[in-house]
Structure 1
Amino acid sequence: MTDAEHIAPEYGGPVPIAPEYPGPGEVLIVTGMSGAGRSTAADALEDLGWYVVDNLPPQMLRPLLELTELAGGALPRVAVVVDVRGRELFRELPAITRALRDGRPVRVMFLDASDEVLVRRFEAVRRPHPLQGDGTILDGINQERLRLAAVRESADIIVDTSAFNIHQLATQVIDLFAAAGAARHSVTIMSFGFKYGLPPDADLVADMRFLPNPFWNDELRSFTGEDDNVRDFVLEQQGAREFLDSYAAALVPVLEGYQRENKGHSVVAIGCTGGKHRSVVMAHELAARLSSLPGVAVRVKHRDLGRE
């Protein structure tokens, strides 16, 4: 990757608490678009103590999983990088993954990035895309997206690396997979500004533009949603607390369902115009309401708080 990417936001807030999947033989399948940062993610996992296997044909996943079970505690966490370098073998990955997930601790992390960013990264390293053949880099990317559509759809965690450099991506992986107690699901409450675009990895989006904008208040414009005067202003507005209570209650069965379905991470995006006032306040308040849920670890990130 080059220093250019989602998970490429420079978020503020506490270090995320990620889910820990107990027991020996845990397997994480790392896959996704070529150029999206699989190698960087694998290196970060290795730094966390995972046993990492690169470019494994999907047909070898079952023998590997059996090996982790035989090894018991000797191989408690195994990460496997699987990608289209396996060519025709890769087509069987969705079916093999579904079979392995039957009662086994298998997770899939899919790394993605925009076409524009992927093209730029391939051009920077002066290497062809593995599927472009006699065509262009973009032709190869389009072919890869078609082949990966089913895998992306069934992934437990999707990380858009468009805005990340290699260091930011490594930090994100560490945040997601560092051991963190008994949490079964990690939810990120992310504030953002609509004028900068929707967060590509958001699972749910809520719009705070129904509240008056502190930006138009001369006494509040220079402050942010992390300041008490802005917080008080936003929460005093009609509908603010009602929304928080209702939305938090609506999220409870969603987060419980994610745990039942073994979805390890989700992103709830809270937006306003610029991502500096209303969304910041409401993200913090929503996180406070969800923090007591059993099996759920909550973190807050502000995507656009530092933008001009």
Structure 2
Amino acid sequence: MDILSKIKEKAKANRCRIVLPEGGDARIIKASRSIVDQSIADITIIGGLEALKKEFSDMADRVDIMDPDSDDRIGAYIDDFYEMRKHKGVTRDDAKKLLLENSVYIAAMMARRGEADGFVAGASYTTRNVARAAIQCIGVDKEMGVVSGAFIMALPDKKFGDDGIFIFADCAIVPDPNARQLSSIAISAADLLKCLLSIEPRLAMLSYSTKGSGAGDSVDKVREATESVKALRPDILIDGEFQVDAAIDPGVCGIKAPDSPLKGRANILIFPNLDSGNIACKLTQRLAGAKAIGPVLQGLKKPASDLSRGCDSEDVVNTVSVIAAMA
């Protein structure tokens, strides 16, 4: 059974409700039909009532359609958001305008209130909009302290990672994490891999240096983050700092870092900044033919995920499967 099949089976067993707030997008509609047909999750889709009723006329009893302009549930979400944010100067009119014009906030409020187990958005919303809604409505896990974006990467070449599986982080949220943030990103990624696939995490903290071959502030940051993870979570196998070839190739690791417990078999790659993480993810996807799922938003109180605006319907199905499996 491949990775996606395993994740989908876990999602089906959880039988969660996931909100898709971009119901006007053809990719979301197509994905919703597939999700329901495969029984991956129960779906609430947000958009124009008449258009969506027509799209789902053959499965009306299996899809929850919410039109922000007419649904009776919206008032409670507006009231709750106002109460949450009034200390920031938000008025009820502000809250109403924000939610009615940005359905991703409705999705996030449903998750906050326990009416849904998570949400997936980003086909049209930017990562910034999706992350802001998640942080403001769902909230940050105090233990983690930072929200980050992780991609599950499935490579056709099975000799790398764990049968071709990697997690890349952070590829979406924190532009230049400090050592504390980097250690939290690493811990979140380790927990994500174990939760989703029951695979023991093997983390490499990446740099332009391998075990002292280079020097600089960035190298020092990665070393400090590595030691922090070791102290906070001694159960996690982690090493660094590493150039990526030493992290994933046993032959190169044997030359550059022969004493490393990773032995060139990392299945989680933690990048020193957002530039490197985002570039690496897209290069691996385009040049190596990898399937990239996410970015899953780590460090929240409930599961949520962004999407690439270049996603297709299959990407949406896969990402919903991950969020449902996490719930």
TM-score with structure 1 setting the length = 0.31
More helix by share: 2
| Higher normalized contact order (CA 8 Å, seq sep 6+, divided by chain length) | 1
